[in-house]
Structure 1
C-alpha cells in the first residue's frame, strides 16, 4: 500500500517542485516575474533606448548647432575641462550627445568628488527662512550635476520644445535647488502614529482653501517644528518645493509657476500622485490598472545602475525583510541624492545626511529591530565588507537598491490634465 501511495504522490510532488522551481527562477530572473504589462512599461521607460549614455538633444541641425555653442559656453562657465566630455553630433539622426570620457562600464556617480580630474567643489546657496530672513547652505554644485547627467549608465533626452540649452540649464538648477532645500531638515518622525501639519496652512496633507500650494509647501520648510511626517511625504515636499521655489524665486517666471501649481492642484491634492504610479510597481498590492498613469509633476526611468544617482534624483531603498517590511514606515526608504556621495536625512538623525552604505545599513538593520540607533544600538549586527557589497545591488540580485529614479522634467507643452 505504501508503494502505491508513493507512486501516486511522486508525480504530484514533482509537479509542485517543478512549479516552485520555475516560480523561483522567474523571481530571480529580474522584474519579468511581475507581469507582461510591467515588462512593457519597463521597456517603454528604460533609461536609454539605443545603448546611449549621457545628455542627448534631438531636433533640427540648426538648433543642434546653436545648442552645441551654448553648451560649450556653459561648460566653460562651470569649469568643466573639455577633455572630460565626448561630443557626438549626428546629422543623420538629428541628435547631439554629450557623454563623459570615462570607461563605458563606469556607471558610478557617487565618487565624483574624490576624482581629482573633475575638481568638484560645493556651492553656497541662499534660501529664505522664517520671518523673511535668509540662510546660507553649502550644497551640490551645478558642475557635479552636469557631470553626473553625462555619466554612463543612463540617458537624459531633450527633444521637441525641450530641445534647447535653456531647458537643460533649468533642469540642472531645479535639481540643485531641490538638493539645497534637503540639506538642513529637522522634521518630526511620526513612527507609525499620525502625521502633524501646521494647521494655519494645512488640513492634514491638503492646503486650506485659499492657500496656494507654494505658500503651504514653503511653510513646511520655514517652520519645520510644526510638522511630523513620514519619509514618503517628506520626499514629495522636497521635490515640490525645489520646483516651485525655482520658478518663483530664482527664475522669477510667474507663467511657469502657475503652470506647475495648476498641475499640482488638478485634483485638489498637491502631494498626491506627483510621481508616476509605476514607481511602486513592486508593491504586493500594486494596481496594474494604474501602471500607465503619469505623475502630475515627475517622470521616472527604470534600469538605472545601483551606484548611478544624479543629485536631485528620488530613488528607493527597499526593505526586503518579509517581517519588518510590514511595519508602517519601514517598508523601505525614499532617498533623495544630495551629491557628494550623500543622501537625505529628513529628521537630522545622522548629521543631516547618509552615505550610501550608511543608508543601506540603516534599512538592513530594521530586520534586527533597530528602529532607533540611539535606543537600539545593542541590536545592531555589523555587516562584513562582502555583505555590504551585496547590498549595493538590485533586490533581485540580493541587494536593496531599486533600479528606478524619479525626477522633474516636463515639457512646457505638456497637458495640464492627469492621464
Structure 2
C-alpha cells in the first residue's frame, strides 16, 4: 500500500495503477495496456510512471494535465462525451473510451494486478451501462414479483433460480421488458443488485466460468442481498473524510442520491435514490426508462419530494409522484428557480442521521470487485439457507 499512498499524494490524479510482484512480471500488462491506449487513440494524452518498492513493481497511468483540464475541468466527467464527440450508444468502443478516460482522471487510485483484471473491470462497467439502459421496472417497496418460470421465493432463501434456469437468462427476463413484455415490481436498491449481478455473470462467462458456475449454484440455493451483497461483490471508493468531487462519475458506478429533507425521507422508498451512472451526463431512471436523469433533473426531483409529502387516511406519510412530476416540470421552466435548487442540492450530503446544510450528493461511489481466476476478490458465502437475508 505504500506505493498507492505515495502516488495519491499531491493534487495530480492517481488514475490507474498496474501492479505485479516484479518488474518482469509487470512488463506484459504494461505492454498490453499501452496497446489498448493506442487502439483507442488515447496514448498521446496519457502519462505513465514506473516505480519499484518493497511491495513490488508499479506503473501508474493518468491523463496528462492539459487533457484533464480541457476534458474534465475540476473532475467534472459529465461532459466527456460531448467534449470528445463520443457515441456511446452506437459505438461500444466509445463507451469503453469514456470509462477509461474517467478512470485515468480518478482522484483515487484504481489498482489492478494484471491487464486482464483491468479489461474485466472496464467490460463489467460496459455490461452495467448496457443492461441498465434496457432495464424498466415497477416501483414497489412492499411487494416484489419475478417471472414464475424462472424464480422461486421463500422467506429463508429469498428469490432463487429454479432448477434448469440459467441465472443470466433469469435476470434478463426479470429486468428487461423487451424480453419479458412485463414490468416486475422492485425497490430501486434491489433493482441495482440485479443489474450488477447480471453484469458480473456476463463477464464471468468470458473470463472465469468456474466462478460463474459457483454463482449459479449460489442463486439456486439462496440469494445474496442488501449489506451482504455489497460486502461480497462491491467496493466503495471515496468517503466522508475524503469525498469525491461532486461531478466526478465513471460509467457503471452505483451511487446514492440522498434525500436531504428529514420529513419526506421518512417515507419508505424516499430516503434517497440508488442509480447507475450511464455516462454522457445521464443517470438511470428504472421507472421511466426513456427519461434518464441528468444531474440537474435528479436534484430537482429529489428536492420536490418534500413538496409532495402528505399523510394518508391511515396517518402514514406518503409522497405523491404526480405532484412531484408537476412541480419538477414547473421548476425546469424557471432557470432562476433551478439555480436556487441546485445551490442547495449539489452540496455533499450530511452524515447519516443529520439533516442540516448538506445536499443530495454522496461522497463515494461503488464498483465491482476483482473477478479473474487467481486474483478474484469474490468469496461466496456458504450455500446454506441458515442466516439468509430475505427481502424484496
State TM-score, norm by structure 1: 0.71
71, 96, 101: which one aligns with 1:147: 101
CA contact (8 A) 1:298 1:410 kept: no
Per the TM alignment, residue 387 of structure 1 is displaced from its structure 2 partner at its CA by 3.3
Cα 1:140/1:225, change in 2 over 3 Å: farther
In structure 1, stretches of 5+ residues that fail to align are 1-44, 126-137, 277-294
The equivalent of 2:77 in structure 1 is 109
Per the TM alignment, residue 243 of structure 1 is displaced from its structure 2 partner at its CA by 1.3
The equivalent of 1:300 in structure 2 is 236
Question: How many angstroms apart in 1 are the aligned matches of 2:367 and 2:96?
Answer: 16
CA contact (8 A) 2:87 2:95 kept: yes
The equivalent of 2:348 in structure 1 is 394
Per the TM alignment, residue 266 of structure 1 is displaced from its structure 2 partner at its CA by 9.6
Instruction: Please tell me whether residue 169 in structure 1 is matched to residue 119 in structure 2.
Output: yes
Range with bigger deviation, 197-206 or 62-71: 197-206
The equivalent of 1:229 in structure 2 is 186
Question: How many angstroms apart in 2 are the aligned matches of 1:50 and 1:224?
Answer: 51
Cα 1:410/1:253, change in 2 over 3 Å: closer
CA contact (8 A) 2:117 2:370 kept: no
Per the TM alignment, residue 68 of structure 1 is displaced from its structure 2 partner at its CA by 2.0
CA contact (8 A) 1:185 1:348 kept: no
Per the TM alignment, residue 418 of structure 1 is displaced from its structure 2 partner at its CA by 4.1
SS in 2 for 1:203: strand
Matches within 5 A, 1:270-289: 270-273=224-227, 275-276=229-230
Per the TM alignment, residue 307 of structure 1 is displaced from its structure 2 partner at its CA by 1.1
CA contact (8 A) 1:148 1:310 kept: yes
CA contact (8 A) 1:140 1:179 kept: no
Cα root mean square deviation, aligned = 3.0
Matches within 5 A, 1:165-204: 165-190=115-140, 192-204=141-153
Per the TM alignment, residue 61 of structure 1 is displaced from its structure 2 partner at its CA by 1.0
Question: How many angstroms apart in 2 are the aligned matches of 1:323 and 1:122?
Answer: 39
SS in 2 for 1:398: coil
CA contact (8 A) 2:204 2:212 kept: yes
Per the TM alignment, residue 109 of structure 1 is displaced from its structure 2 partner at its CA by 1.2
The equivalent of 2:366 in structure 1 is 406
The equivalent of 1:30 in structure 2 is none
State TM-score, norm by structure 2: 0.75
Question: How many angstroms apart in 1 are the aligned matches of 2:379 and 2:347?
Answer: 37
Per the TM alignment, residue 270 of structure 1 is displaced from its structure 2 partner at its CA by 3.6
CA contact (8 A) 2:86 2:94 kept: no
235, 246, 258: which one aligns with 2:213: 258
Question: How many angstroms apart in 1 are the aligned matches of 2:14 and 2:307?
Answer: 39
Instruction: Please tell me whether residue 85 in structure 1 is matched to residue 46 in structure 2.
Output: yes
Cα 1:83/1:99, change in 2 over 3 Å: same
12, 27, 51: which one aligns with 1:65: 27
Question: How many angstroms apart in 2 are the aligned matches of 1:57 and 1:212?
Answer: 34
Question: How many angstroms apart in 2 are the aligned matches of 1:369 and 1:317?
Answer: 18
Matches within 5 A, 1:1-400: 50=9, 53-59=14-20, 60-80=22-42, 82-92=43-53, 94-101=57-64, 102-103=68-69, 106-115=74-83, 118-124=84-90, 141-158=95-112, 163-190=113-140, 192-204=141-153, 205-210=158-163, 211-220=165-174, 221=176, 222-223=179-180, 225-248=182-205, 251=206, 253-261=208-216, 264-265=218-219, 268-273=222-227, 275-276=229-230, 295-302=231-238, 303-348=243-288, 351-369=290-308, 371=319, 374=322, 376-380=324-328, 382=331, 383-396=337-350, 398-400=358-360
CA contact (8 A) 2:81 2:87 kept: yes
SS in 1 for 2:138: coil
Per the TM alignment, residue 259 of structure 1 is displaced from its structure 2 partner at its CA by 4.2
Question: How many angstroms apart in 1 are the aligned matches of 2:259 and 2:29?
Answer: 43
Per the TM alignment, residue 353 of structure 1 is displaced from its structure 2 partner at its CA by 1.1
**Over residues 134-186 of structure 1, what are the superposed CA-to-partner deviations in whole Å (9 max), with x where a residue is unaligned?**
xxxx896101100011114222111xxxx211211111011101100111322
In structure 2, stretches of 5+ residues that fail to align are 310-318, 332-336, 351-356, 383-392
